Amino acid sequence: MYKMTANNISRVYPETATSQNVNQLAKRRFGETIEYNNDEGTAVVLDADGRTLAQYEYQERFFSTEAYLNN
C-alpha cells in the first residue's frame, strides 16, 4: 500500500493507493507520469515539466499482536 507523503497542488489525490492503481494517478492527457525511486519504494507523480505533483511512500501492511493491542 502506498501512502501519500506530499501533495503540491490543489487537486485532490487519494491518501492511499494500492500497488495496482498507483499507475492510474497520473492524468495522461495532461502529460503527467509516474516515476519510481528507491527500488519502487517511492512513487512520484510528475507533471509535463517534471515538477512533483504528489509523492507516495510504500508501506507494507502486516499484522502484529503488539500493534493490535496498542491501537
Taking CA 62 as the corner, what is the angle to CA 46 and CA 70, rounded to the nearest 5 degrees? Answer: 110
Domain parsing of the chain, residue ranges:
2-70
pTM score over 0.85: no
Give the tens place of pLDDT for each residue, 61-70.
666 676 667 6
Give the model's pLDDT for residue 39: 79
Q: How is residue 46 written as a grid cell?
A: 510528475
Residue 41 binned pLDDT confidence (cut-offs 50, 70, 90) = confident
Is residue 70 within a helix (H) or strand (E), and if so which, with residue range? helix 65-70
